[in-house]
């Protein structure tokens, strides 16, 4: 495997453990239907959870990987539904690309607005992100709240919102599977989802780390001298 400077573990032993873990995932997963660019995302999700069902449950819009990598290389913001995602993604890796994460779920104005509307904080957190101009061209990363994903889908359909990529992986029993199925029906906006009830912030963080690694590989390739 190619070793990245920024998006790898910081020590040689850490790198070796991670690479050995990926090798175990590759061996035990066996044959799969993912492309060479999609598989690193799925592999890291399996690595983060030890759950091989994500080999099959993870689904990609055809343009998802390219869109995510380009957004990261362009320093576009990542808007999460919960702070767990912002905390979980490596700050040095994000800083290398000039990417900043945002979440508004605990803001006092978001809480007050959701109470007045008898809605969820997640819905008004996405509305606030839209007001700040963070969603158009940014990466939307949802691992907890189906209502956040449903609100983003509404904005896409009704308000012509155009995120660069939507990572839709809310977990749960109420509207989680349905929200992801709705996102899967959208053709014009790239997305990555986990089919069904399974999901979670850990998976979103894993997917983002995989995309950051792919972005660094693209960056390294672009910096290499090419023969005429």
Number of domains the chain is built from: 1
- 24 within some domain: no
Q: Cite the active site residues.
A: 47
pLDDT in tens, 25-44: 999 998 899 999 999 999 99
The DSSP-derived string for 82-112 is SHHHHHHS-HHHHHHTT--EE--TT-HHHHH
C-alpha distances in Å from residue 69, one per residue of 63, 99, 139: 10, 12, 10
What's the whole-model pTM score? 0.93
- 169 within some domain: yes
pLDDT in tens, 159-189: 899 999 999 999 999 999 999 999 999 999 9
As given in the structure block, the two tokens for residue 105 are: 């779920």
Q: What is the domain-level CATH number for residue 70?
A: 3.40.50.10230
Structural domain that includes position 135: 57-222
- 47 within some domain: no
């Amino acid at each position: 495997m190619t070793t990245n400077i920024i998006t790898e573990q910081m020590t040689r032993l850490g790198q070796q453990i991670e690479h050995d873990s990926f090798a175990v995932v590759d061996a035990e997963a066996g044959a799969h239907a993912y492309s060479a660019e999609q598989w690193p995302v799925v592999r890291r999700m399996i690595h983060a959870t030890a759950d091989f069902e994500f080999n099959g449950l993870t689904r990609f819009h055809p343009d998802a990987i390219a869109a995510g990598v380009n957004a990261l290389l362009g320093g576009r913001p990542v808007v999460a539904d919960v702070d767990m995602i912002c905390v979980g993604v490596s700050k040095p890796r994000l800083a290398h690309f000039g990417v900043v994460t945002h979440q508004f779920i605990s803001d006092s104005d978001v809480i007050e607005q959701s109470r007045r509307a008898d809605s969820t904080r997640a819905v008004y957190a996405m509305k606030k992100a839209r007001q700040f101009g963070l969603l158009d061209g940014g990466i939307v990363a949802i691992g907890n709240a189906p209502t956040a994903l449903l609100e983003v889908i509404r904005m896409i359909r009704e308000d012509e919102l155009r995120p660069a990529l939507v990572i839709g992986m809310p977990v749960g029993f109420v509207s989680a599977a349905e929200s992801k199925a709705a996102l899967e029906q959208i053709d014009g906006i790239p997305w990555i989802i986990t089919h069904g009830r399974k999901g979670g912030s850990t998976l979103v963080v894993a997917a983002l780390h995989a995309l950051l690694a792919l972005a660094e590989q693209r960056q390294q390739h672009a910096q290499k001298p090419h023969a005429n």
